[in-house]
Amino acid sequence: MFEIKLCKTKSAIIVKPIKNLKLDLARMNSRFNVIAQTSIASVLRFDNEEVVVHRYGDIYFKSLKDESLINKIAQEIYKIANG
């Protein structure tokens, strides 16, 4: 369960889990195209979109606004990293 909204500084769409998660970023990184990573967050690329994933489950979409695509990518990430 998650909500999709504008982040507080209004630039990016953020997907926020209703309950706090602790994602397995290493597992996630091994399955996606990673362009930058730390132990607290990774930056993934999906086609032309860059997505920042925080270990507590927040996902920031830098430019994508299509809610159905955002929903699909978020589900894909949670399935792998919170499986």
Closest distance to other proteins from the beta carbon of 83 (Å): 22
Question: What does residue 37 show for φ and ψ, rounded to 5 degrees?
Answer: -155, 150
Give the pair of three-digit tokens for residue 63.
């430019």
State in Å, rounded, how far the first CA of the chain is from the last one.
14
2-31 footprint of other proteins as x/- string (CB under 8 A): -----xxxxxx-x-----------------
Work out which of 18, 19, 39, 47 binds other proteins, going by CB under 8 A. Answer: 39
Q: How many CB atoms lie within 10 A of CB 13?
A: 20
Where does this chain bind other proteins (CB under 8 A)? 7-12, 14, 35-41, 43, 50, 52, 54, 58, 60, 62-63
